[in-house]
Protein backbone atom coordinates (compact mmCIF):
# COMPACT_ATOMS: atom_id res chain seq x y z
CA UNK A 1 0.00 0.00 0.00
CA UNK A 2 1.32 3.48 -0.88
CA UNK A 3 1.39 5.81 2.12
CA UNK A 4 -0.46 9.09 1.78
CA UNK A 5 2.77 11.07 2.19
CA UNK A 6 4.33 9.31 -0.81
CA UNK A 7 1.13 9.74 -2.80
CA UNK A 8 1.10 13.44 -1.97
CA UNK A 9 4.68 13.74 -3.24
CA UNK A 10 3.74 12.01 -6.51
CA UNK A 11 0.86 14.43 -7.00
CA UNK A 12 3.09 17.42 -6.38
CA UNK A 13 5.73 16.27 -8.83
CA UNK A 14 3.61 14.81 -11.62
CA UNK A 15 0.24 16.54 -11.83
CA UNK A 16 1.37 20.09 -12.68
CA UNK A 17 4.39 22.19 -13.61
CA UNK A 18 6.65 22.86 -10.62
CA UNK A 19 6.02 26.61 -10.77
CA UNK A 20 2.41 26.04 -9.77
CA UNK A 21 3.65 25.21 -6.30
CA UNK A 22 5.32 28.60 -5.92
CA UNK A 23 3.80 31.51 -4.04
CA UNK A 24 4.31 34.97 -2.67
CA UNK A 25 2.86 37.21 0.06
CA UNK A 26 1.24 40.39 -1.20
CA UNK A 27 -1.33 41.37 1.43
CA UNK A 28 -1.28 42.05 5.15
CA UNK A 29 -3.78 40.69 7.66
CA UNK A 30 -4.68 42.64 10.78
CA UNK A 31 -7.08 41.01 13.22
CA UNK A 32 -10.11 39.79 11.25
CA UNK A 33 -9.47 41.29 7.82
CA UNK A 34 -7.09 41.54 4.92
CA UNK A 35 -6.14 45.22 4.83
CA UNK A 36 -5.39 47.33 1.77
CA UNK A 37 -4.70 46.37 -1.80
CA UNK A 38 -2.05 43.92 -2.99
CA UNK A 39 1.41 45.35 -2.20
CA UNK A 40 -0.02 48.38 -0.41
CA UNK A 41 1.63 47.44 2.88
CA UNK A 42 3.97 44.74 1.54
CA UNK A 43 7.19 45.64 -0.24
CA UNK A 44 6.71 44.61 -3.86
CA UNK A 45 9.69 42.74 -5.26
CA UNK A 46 10.83 41.75 -8.74
CA UNK A 47 11.01 38.02 -8.12
CA UNK A 48 7.44 37.10 -9.08
CA UNK A 49 6.65 33.89 -7.17
CA UNK A 50 10.11 32.36 -7.56
CA UNK A 51 11.97 31.05 -4.51
CA UNK A 52 15.25 32.22 -3.01
CA UNK A 53 17.94 29.60 -2.41
CA UNK A 54 20.96 31.74 -1.46
CA UNK A 55 20.74 32.48 2.26
CA UNK A 56 23.82 34.72 2.02
CA UNK A 57 22.30 37.23 -0.39
CA UNK A 58 21.05 40.65 0.71
CA UNK A 59 17.88 39.75 -1.22
CA UNK A 60 17.18 37.30 1.58
CA UNK A 61 15.90 40.20 3.68
CA UNK A 62 12.82 41.23 1.73
CA UNK A 63 13.33 39.63 -1.71
CA UNK A 64 14.74 40.95 -4.98
CA UNK A 65 14.66 44.74 -5.42
CA UNK A 66 11.85 45.11 -2.87
CA UNK A 67 10.39 48.63 -3.01
CA UNK A 68 9.12 50.60 0.00
CA UNK A 69 5.39 50.39 0.66
CA UNK A 70 2.93 52.20 2.90
CA UNK A 71 3.07 51.53 6.62
CA UNK A 72 0.05 50.19 8.50
CA UNK A 73 -0.52 50.98 12.18
CA UNK A 74 -1.24 48.06 14.51
CA UNK A 75 -1.42 47.60 18.26
CA UNK A 76 0.83 45.32 20.23
CA UNK A 77 -1.29 42.23 20.82
CA UNK A 78 -3.20 42.49 17.51
CA UNK A 79 -3.47 39.44 15.29
CA UNK A 80 -1.24 39.96 12.27
CA UNK A 81 -0.38 37.78 9.31
CA UNK A 82 -0.27 37.43 5.55
CA UNK A 83 -2.47 36.49 2.62
CA UNK A 84 -0.62 33.98 0.44
CA UNK A 85 -0.92 34.26 -3.32
CA UNK A 86 -2.12 31.71 -4.17
CA UNK A 87 -1.48 29.10 -1.49
CA UNK A 88 1.38 27.39 0.35
CA UNK A 89 2.22 24.99 -2.46
CA UNK A 90 5.00 22.75 -1.14
CA UNK A 91 5.66 20.78 2.06
CA UNK A 92 7.45 22.91 4.62
CA UNK A 93 7.21 25.54 7.34
CA UNK A 94 6.16 29.14 7.83
CA UNK A 95 8.11 31.56 10.01
CA UNK A 96 7.98 35.30 10.72
CA UNK A 97 10.74 37.68 11.75
CA UNK A 98 10.42 41.21 13.14
CA UNK A 99 12.99 44.04 12.87
CA UNK A 100 12.65 47.54 14.34
CA UNK A 101 13.74 50.54 12.30
CA UNK A 102 16.34 52.64 14.16
CA UNK A 103 15.11 55.72 15.99
CA UNK A 104 14.44 58.53 13.52
CA UNK A 105 14.12 56.14 10.55
CA UNK A 106 10.72 55.17 9.15
CA UNK A 107 9.87 51.64 8.09
CA UNK A 108 9.73 52.87 4.49
CA UNK A 109 13.34 54.06 4.73
CA UNK A 110 14.66 51.11 6.72
CA UNK A 111 16.90 48.70 4.83
CA UNK A 112 16.57 45.80 7.28
CA UNK A 113 20.25 45.86 8.23
CA UNK A 114 19.50 45.78 11.97
CA UNK A 115 18.62 42.84 14.18
CA UNK A 116 15.75 40.46 13.51
CA UNK A 117 13.78 38.48 16.10
CA UNK A 118 11.91 35.28 15.24
CA UNK A 119 8.35 35.73 16.49
CA UNK A 120 6.38 32.92 14.82
CA UNK A 121 7.04 29.38 13.64
CA UNK A 122 4.47 26.99 12.13
CA UNK A 123 5.85 23.52 11.45
CA UNK A 124 4.53 19.98 11.49
CA UNK A 125 0.95 18.98 12.04
CA UNK A 126 0.00 17.39 15.38
CA UNK A 127 -1.33 14.31 13.54
CA UNK A 128 0.94 11.87 11.75
CA UNK A 129 0.40 9.61 8.78
CA UNK A 130 -1.18 6.29 9.76
CA UNK A 131 -2.21 5.08 6.30
CA UNK A 132 0.49 2.42 6.17
CA UNK A 133 1.19 -1.06 7.45
CA UNK A 134 4.65 0.06 8.55
CA UNK A 135 4.99 1.14 12.15
CA UNK A 136 7.77 3.53 11.14
CA UNK A 137 5.35 5.42 8.89
CA UNK A 138 3.23 6.24 11.93
CA UNK A 139 5.91 8.80 12.79
CA UNK A 140 6.23 10.44 9.37
CA UNK A 141 5.61 14.19 9.56
CA UNK A 142 2.81 16.05 7.87
CA UNK A 143 2.78 19.83 7.63
CA UNK A 144 0.45 22.36 9.21
CA UNK A 145 1.11 24.67 6.24
CA UNK A 146 -0.44 22.30 3.67
CA UNK A 147 -2.36 24.38 1.09
CA UNK A 148 -2.99 27.28 3.49
CA UNK A 149 -4.00 30.61 1.95
CA UNK A 150 -3.72 32.79 5.06
CA UNK A 151 -2.09 32.64 8.47
CA UNK A 152 -2.06 34.93 11.47
CA UNK A 153 -0.73 35.09 15.01
CA UNK A 154 -0.77 37.49 17.94
CA UNK A 155 1.89 40.18 17.74
CA UNK A 156 3.51 39.96 21.18
CA UNK A 157 1.95 42.34 23.67
CA UNK A 158 5.47 43.26 24.79
CA UNK A 159 6.40 44.58 21.33
CA UNK A 160 7.77 48.09 21.93
CA UNK A 161 6.17 50.95 19.97
CA UNK A 162 8.01 51.80 16.79
CA UNK A 163 8.19 51.16 13.06
CA UNK A 164 9.08 47.69 11.91
CA UNK A 165 9.59 45.30 9.03
CA UNK A 166 7.50 42.15 9.48
CA UNK A 167 9.06 39.43 7.35
CA UNK A 168 7.18 36.33 6.18
CA UNK A 169 9.47 33.40 5.42
CA UNK A 170 8.02 30.25 3.90
CA UNK A 171 10.48 27.38 3.61
CA UNK A 172 9.69 24.59 1.11
CA UNK A 173 11.46 21.32 1.82
CA UNK A 174 10.64 19.15 -1.20
CA UNK A 175 14.22 19.45 -2.54
CA UNK A 176 15.99 20.32 0.71
CA UNK A 177 17.74 16.95 0.94
CA UNK A 178 20.14 18.46 -1.63
CA UNK A 179 22.63 21.22 -0.81
CA UNK A 180 21.31 24.77 -1.48
CA UNK A 181 17.99 23.47 -2.81
CA UNK A 182 15.75 24.49 0.10
CA UNK A 183 13.32 27.07 -1.30
CA UNK A 184 12.57 30.25 0.63
CA UNK A 185 9.58 32.49 -0.15
CA UNK A 186 9.98 35.91 1.45
CA UNK A 187 8.13 39.22 1.71
CA UNK A 188 8.28 42.15 4.16
CA UNK A 189 5.34 44.14 5.46
CA UNK A 190 5.78 47.59 6.96
CA UNK A 191 4.01 48.18 10.27
CA UNK A 192 3.95 50.85 12.94
CA UNK A 193 3.34 49.35 16.36
CA UNK A 194 1.59 51.42 18.99
CA UNK A 195 1.05 50.38 22.59
CA UNK A 196 -1.63 47.81 23.15
CA UNK A 197 -4.48 48.29 25.58
CA UNK A 198 -2.49 46.47 28.25
CA UNK A 199 0.50 48.82 28.00
CA UNK A 200 -0.77 52.27 27.09
CA UNK A 201 1.98 54.00 29.10
CA UNK A 202 4.84 52.85 26.86
CA UNK A 203 6.11 55.40 24.35
CA UNK A 204 8.54 55.45 21.47
CA UNK A 205 11.20 56.86 23.78
CA UNK A 206 11.16 53.56 25.69
CA UNK A 207 12.10 51.54 22.61
CA UNK A 208 15.47 49.79 22.62
CA UNK A 209 16.67 47.18 20.16
CA UNK A 210 17.56 44.95 23.09
CA UNK A 211 13.85 44.71 23.95
CA UNK A 212 13.76 42.10 21.16
CA UNK A 213 15.91 39.06 21.00
CA UNK A 214 17.92 37.02 20.50
CA UNK A 215 18.62 39.04 17.37
CA UNK A 216 20.15 37.86 14.11
CA UNK A 217 21.28 39.67 10.97
CA UNK A 218 20.04 39.00 7.45
CA UNK A 219 22.03 37.72 5.68
CA UNK A 220 23.95 35.79 8.29
CA UNK A 221 21.20 34.15 10.32
CA UNK A 222 21.44 30.86 8.37
CA UNK A 223 24.44 28.95 7.04
CA UNK A 224 22.47 26.67 4.76
CA UNK A 225 23.53 23.41 6.37
CA UNK A 226 21.35 23.61 9.50
CA UNK A 227 19.22 20.51 10.13
CA UNK A 228 16.05 22.43 9.25
CA UNK A 229 17.41 23.67 5.91
CA UNK A 230 19.49 20.73 4.71
CA UNK A 231 17.41 17.72 5.67
CA UNK A 232 18.85 14.19 5.86
CA UNK A 233 16.24 12.40 3.73
CA UNK A 234 13.54 13.17 1.21
CA UNK A 235 10.80 15.17 2.93
CA UNK A 236 8.17 12.41 2.79
CA UNK A 237 10.39 10.22 4.98
CA UNK A 238 11.05 12.79 7.73
CA UNK A 239 10.15 11.63 11.22
CA UNK A 240 11.45 14.69 13.09
CA UNK A 241 12.24 18.27 12.23
CA UNK A 242 13.99 21.22 13.88
CA UNK A 243 13.08 24.66 12.54
CA UNK A 244 16.07 26.91 11.79
CA UNK A 245 16.60 30.25 13.47
CA UNK A 246 17.20 31.77 16.90
CA UNK A 247 15.00 31.15 19.92
CA UNK A 248 11.49 32.51 19.50
CA UNK A 249 10.74 35.89 21.06
CA UNK A 250 9.39 36.64 23.63
CA UNK A 251 10.94 33.94 25.79
CA UNK A 252 8.44 31.14 26.25
CA UNK A 253 6.82 31.54 22.82
CA UNK A 254 5.93 28.11 21.48
CA UNK A 255 6.29 26.68 17.99
CA UNK A 256 2.84 26.23 16.45
CA UNK A 257 1.45 23.04 14.94
CA UNK A 258 -2.03 24.23 13.97
CA UNK A 259 -2.49 27.21 11.67
CA UNK A 260 -4.89 30.02 12.50
CA UNK A 261 -6.32 31.12 9.16
CA UNK A 262 -8.56 34.07 8.47
Determine, yes or no, domain membership for 123: yes
Residue 155 clears pLDDT 60, i.e. is over it: yes
Q: What is the DSSP letter of 61?
A: T
Q: Which domain holds residue 216?
A: 25-237
25 and 66 Cβ atoms separated by less than 8 Å: no
Domains identified in the chain, total number: 1
Torsion sign (Cα): 148, 87, 182, 42: negative
Determine, yes or no, domain membership for 11: no
Which residue in 205, 179, 218 sits closest to 99, CA to CA? 218
Determine, yes or no, domain membership for 76: yes
Determine, yes or no, domain membership for 31: yes
Residues in the chain: 262
Can you give the pLDDT at residue 4? 40
Residue 170 clears pLDDT 70, i.e. is over it: yes
**Cα–Cα distance measured from residue 133 to residue 45, given in angstroms and rounded to the nearest whole number:** 46
Burial class of residue 1 in the structure, from the number of CB atoms within 10 Å of its CB (0-12 exposed, 13-18 middle, 19+ buried): exposed
Mean pLDDT value of segment 21-48:
97
pLDDT band at 158 (very low <50, low <70, confident <90, very high): very high
Instruction: Share the mean pLDDT of the chain.
Output: 88
Of residues 169 and 15, the one with the higher pLDDT is: 169
Residue 202 clears pLDDT 80, i.e. is over it: no
Determine, yes or no, domain membership for 174: yes
Residue 207 clears pLDDT 90, i.e. is over it: no
**Cα–Cα distance measured from residue 36 to residue 14, given in angstroms and rounded to the nearest whole number:** 36
Mean pLDDT value of segment 90-115:
98
Can you give the pLDDT at residue 139? 83
Beta-ladder partners of 216 = 116
Determine, yes or no, domain membership for 72: yes
Determine, yes or no, domain membership for 120: yes
130's torsion region: left (phi>0), alpha (psi -120 to 50) or beta? alpha
Mean pLDDT value of segment 10-33:
73
Q: CATH number for the domain including 41?
A: 2.70.50.70
pLDDT in tens, 67-96: 999 999 999 999 999 999 999 999 999 999
Determine, yes or no, domain membership for 226: yes
User: How many C-beta atoms surround the C-beta of residue 207 within 10 A?
Assistant: 19
Amino acid sequence: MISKTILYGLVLTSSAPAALGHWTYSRLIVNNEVVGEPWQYIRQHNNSNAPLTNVNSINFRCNVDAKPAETHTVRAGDKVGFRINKHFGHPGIQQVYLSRAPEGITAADYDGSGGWARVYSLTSSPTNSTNSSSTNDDKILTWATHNIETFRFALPTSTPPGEYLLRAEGLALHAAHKWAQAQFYVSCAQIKVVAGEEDVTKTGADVREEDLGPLVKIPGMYRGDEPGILIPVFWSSLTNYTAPGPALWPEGTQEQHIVEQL
